[in-house]
Amino acid sequence: MKKYNFQILVSIVGILYLVGVFLVVTMPDNPILCLTPLLLAVIGTVVLCFMKKDEVIKLMKSTYGKNLASNIVGFFLFFVVLALVNYIAVKRAYVWDIGARKLNSLTEQTQKVIAEINDPVTFKIFSSKEYRDSIRALLDFYKNENQNFKIEYIDPEVRSDLVSKYRILRSPTVVIESPIKDHPILVTEIKELSITNGLISIQRKRDPLLCFAYMKGFEDTTDVGYTGFLHVLKESSFKLNIINLLAVSEIPRQCNVFSILSPMSDLMDSELEKVKKYYDQGGVLFVGFSPMLNGDKIGKLRSYIEELGLSISNDIVIDSKFSLNGSRGSAPIVRKFDDKNINTNISGQVFFPISSSVTLKDIEQEKNYVPLATSSNDSWAEKTILELVSEKLKFDERDVLGPIDMAAALLKNDKPRLIGLGNATLVANKFYQFQSNFTYVLNLYYWAAGEDQLTSVQAAALPEKPVFISDLQKQVILYFSVIILPLLLLCFAFIQYRRRSLI
């Protein structure tokens, strides 16, 4: 009976060891659950030794026992060294990417940004467990380049207090923190471009300042307002300054960009002079004019923009083939972006609702002209605006055949000086659910403010997919090389030793 109980206990202890190792590999986030079977297995091992106390003492005093103990110590030390080497190799892993697109490594631009960071940086992943592994795999690329980087996972369903603290509005979101920055950077586009721009933002001493000519829409929370867009700019680490041109003597030179969006009436002469002075002193202008169905009411401002080289006509771009459903062609979808790679991180479609056409006015500046959003070949610029209301919309000899530019810029020394949009309402509150529109305009502001260090990242069209190894797979690889393989070698050596001792 005693022998039977001993065999049962041996079986239970062996099963507990196996269960413990399995839990450590598959559920490392639950240390109590992992350690409980291992602790019970150790207790069971002590009980087994106590049950066979006399035999154990006799074995340890014998020559065979002494040799066995010596070999076990030697194998244990070998196991410790091997485990340490494997652990260092895993923690200090070097990545070789042999793919044509280098999709399993970071771009050279990102590596340069990471190399310049000497302060600790923490990435906090707010995401469901469904996306946690893929996001962490991407962030591991960054951690492999800089050991000052730390990655934490936070379940937004469990830690609602942290969701409120960091003002998380969508999942997944990566929060980037550093002691040198007084506020965190939130990244909602989980891509290399967005994360690296977040690192750039966390390291800069001063956030870029965007200034806007005052309009009621900045305070309007209804569909026609722009409060949602201002929120997006603030969350993207821009500082904002809404300026009443009648109440200031001049536009501050600290403004990286000065914007006039959807003006409903013309500027007074004194206001226009302040805009001219700002531009003449090297400032960057960003304007967005909407078509005016009841006659042009911004003639002075429109003429000044034409003097600078851009013409934003009072017409409407129509595209019956590629446009928002139900718009009768009046909300064209952008078919081609710029050749400066400003908008490389847009996954959805960008559309301009009731947009004017943008063209080059000064032919001498042709080499400095950059189209930023172009409609399809089937589109046209409708010069008779009332046709849109009369439902007699068709192309005639007065119209201009597409493709039509709906946004464009003029450069000076390869830097943007003037950006013109045929409509600014693409980022009105009404279209807040269309995040691609907001990302598009946000990228233009990054470019205009000189915060576009990574706009040159462009991927070639090759049929490859990045290979991400999940946390579970990495744990299996780690524990197999650190624990299971050395134990197998140890068992094999012990068996060989036993065979030789019996000869």
Q: What residues does each domain of the chain span? A: 2-94+473-502, 103-205, 209-438
Token pair listed for 406: 């709906």
Q: At what angle do helices 2-26 and 471-479 cross, to 10 degrees?
A: 130
Q: Which residues pair with 407 in a beta bridge?
A: 373, 421
Q: What is the pLDDT of residue 454?
A: 46
pLDDT (average), residues 99-110: 62
Q: What is the pLDDT of residue 456?
A: 39
The string of pLDDT tens digits covering residues 272-306 is 999 999 999 999 999 999 888 788 899 999 999 99
- Is the pLDDT at 78 greater than 80? The verdict is no
Greatest Cα-to-Cα distance within the chain, rounded to the nearest angstrom: 109
Report the distance separating Cα 493 and Cα 167, nearest Å. 58
Q: What is the pLDDT of residue 467?
A: 46
209-438 has CATH 3.40.1000 classification: no
Report the topology of domain 103-205: Glutaredoxin (3.40.30)
- Is the pLDDT at 18 greater than 50? The verdict is yes
47-56, 182-191, 202-211, 329-338: which has the highest mean pLDDT?
329-338
Burial pattern 138-170, b for ≥16 Cβ within 10 A else e, equals: bbbbbbbbbeebebebbbbeeeeeebeebebee
pLDDT (average), residues 454-465: 36
Q: What is the pLDDT of residue 92?
A: 55
Asked, as a colleague might, if the bond just before 172 is cis with ω within 30 of 0, I would say: yes
Burial pattern 417-440, b for ≥16 Cβ within 10 A else e, equals: bbbbbbbbbbbbbebbebbbbbbb
Give residues with Cβ within 8 angstroms of 162, minimum separation 6.
124, 126, 154, 156, 168
Of the given ranges (97-106, 200-209, 440-449, 482-491), which has the lowest mean pLDDT? 97-106
- Is the pLDDT at 178 greater than 70? The verdict is yes
